[in-house]
Amino acid sequence: MKAMSKHEWQFFINNLIEEGSHKVIGVKAKGEKFVFGPLDSAEELRLDYDTTILPPKKYFLPTHEDLMRYDISQPFNVLHTVDESPRIIIGIHPYDLIAILQMDKLYLDDTSDDHYKAARKNTLIIASDIINVSQYSFAASMATHMIARTRAYDLLVTDLGEVVAIDIGTESGKLLLEKHGKTREASEEEIVKVEELREDLASKYEKKVNVEKTEWPALLSKNYDHLILKEKSEKCLACGSCTLVCPTCFCYDVEDLLQLNGKEGVRRRTWDGCLMREFTKVASGEIFREKILDRYRHRIFRKGYYLPERYDFIACVGCGRCVSACLPDIADPSDILNSMTESPQSDEPVISFPQIPKTDVVSIDSHCLFVPTSATIKRIEHLTYCETLYELVKDDQTPLGHQPGQFIQVSLFGIGEAPFSVSSAPGGKSFEIVVRQIGEVTSKLRTLKVGDKVGIRGPFGRGFDIDSLKSKDLLFIAGGLGIVPMRSLINYVLRNKTQFNDVTILYGCKEPNEFLFWDEISKWHKRKDITHMFTVDSCPEGVCWDGDIGVITTLLPKVDFNPETTKAIVIGPPIMYQFVIKDLEKKGMKDENILISLERKMRCGVGKCGHCQIHGMYVCKEGPVFNYAEIKDLPEAI
């Protein structure tokens, strides 16, 4: 351990600022509170602070961050932008440093985020031991008040008054100290003072959690409907302040911003939060967590149950920022956990953590994680008054390489990006999507012509396991637009019919004019090796219709199939699933023989933005195709 006088410490900080090779950031006073911000002099730096308004997370996952720049006056002009400017952040407390290590697990995994990766690579961290404790913090209960032996920092400083003790964590920290500062070996007395300060720190915390953090997942699993969640959520303003100030909330959204010249613009990542009403809103308008109670519960369970079971860390470090930021005083996780400990809802788990399906890691160059590749519209076919088919070809002439059931993200610079299921069967250089005009991206797509360019990312997600369907009887049940992703698998099966046994297709819509792919349906009529039936909820007067009338479940009694040898593929609106699955189970079909595809809001495609999360799974990563047995016990799934 090294040491320097307070005067030498200020000389060291001023040298870093004046040398200018790094942007120097530290904790400064802002009225009666504290913030991280650029330092103009060592006198501004406050190592005696309790906590800052926002965590240093903002330097690794900025509140607003440009992912790319584009020029829409040209066919496809996009420039990947990454901020690689070096910086030094001084004064990060242990709990915030632990939160950064948690972010590393999400953002530096197999599909690493190059923006986050560059920020981590180009940042030197001078951490600081805690001197004063926030009245709202319970970091000692989370064992996040100290981090001395993890070496997750370049330097760790301890303010002893007239002396600053320094622990060197990395070679980079050592070189920084040697180049800009003057140190000596810490005395035995100074080392003892540092150890005593750390040992005594826990006793300063008045706020505590009365259950070990390792027990959070088990406790929450028994209290999904605990009364404390209802009581507190009734006071919740759904303002998102708690997620805004949280160092372990990593969710984000993405938007396009066009300059006033109407030509140049940026695609920008911004912080987002699961308490916001539109966090789970999809293009059709459905919101999958409409009730504040569901959003309030998700925040707590994500921190204490979902992420711990998936990534092996409790996504709460006890900093207390959410407590101080919440006007109705209902955001404190310690209050919620303590209430559940004192009077649990159940002695046994009422929900269980799902078995995360094994999926192949999407092979994506980090450069292309956000930046789309260009594709050209080859063909446009209007299917109905509001649905249009687009056949696309990647401009690099490589095949999309998708599996039935996967999806892509389609970009229109200046408007935004939206997910679409791939509707064509695998094979060939072109691929097809079907677009319903219901939002900004789809409305703009409607104006494009053959030869125009769009951006493509993907394919993403888990599609249908074709090998597991071979030599099986297949029962396809499609409702409305569910035929779009199902068509990819149907066409693959029909092209390779000898590899599959009996095939039955049930397709229903609200009215006859909503049916898609009539040309292909007419070909089904000519085939003797498949069975197909169609139905509408109702048929307007004067409209010719020779199929059944009734919801899709009215067709099931007319179908004869062996539940032991049949795989059912069910895709449609959410309300359809529970009724269809119930009828299939009545016929003796096992849950593991039912395959479904879920729709959720999907921004990133690789399980980082958080919008598509259901319990411990990400629909964009473990789905959108699921075996029903995998999700039947998840409250938010269907």
pLDDT digits (tens, 9 = 90+) for 46-96: 999 999 999 999 999 999 999 999 999 998 999 998 999 999 999 999 999
- Please report how the helices 94-107 and 114-121 are oriented relative to each other, as an axis angle in degrees rounded to 10: 140
If you classify domain 366-460 with CATH, what class do you get?
Answer: mainly beta
pLDDT of 360: 60
pLDDT 10s digits, 597-610: 999 999 999 999 99
Report which DSSP code applies to 122.
Answer: T
**Structural tokens at position 632:** 């039947």
- The domain defined by 466-597 carries CATH number 2.10.10.90: no
pLDDT given for residue 412 in this prediction: 96
pLDDT value for 263: 94
Residues of the chain with CATH 3.40.50.80: 466-597
> For residue 368, what pLDDT is reported?
63
Q: Report the pLDDT value the prediction gives residue 603, as an integer from 0 to 100.
A: 92
Rounded Cα–Cα distance for residues 607 and 618 (Å)? 6
Q: How far apart are CA 51 and CA 47, in angstroms?
A: 10
- Segments of the chain scoring below 70 in pLDDT: 148-150, 358-368
How many Å apart are CA 338 and CA 210, to the nearest integer? Answer: 6
pLDDT value for 149: 59
The pLDDT, as a whole number, for residue 352 is: 86
Domain with CATH 2.40.30.10 in the chain: 366-460
Torsion of CA 564, 567, 571, 573, to 10 degrees: 10
What's the maximum distance between 2 C-alpha atoms anywhere in the chain? 96
| pLDDT score recorded for residue 121 | 96
For residue 90, CA distances in Å to 87, 355, 507 come to 10, 41, 62
Position 200 scores a pLDDT of 96
Q: What is the pLDDT of residue 111?
A: 86
pLDDT of residue 73: 92
Q: What is the pTM of this model?
A: 0.93
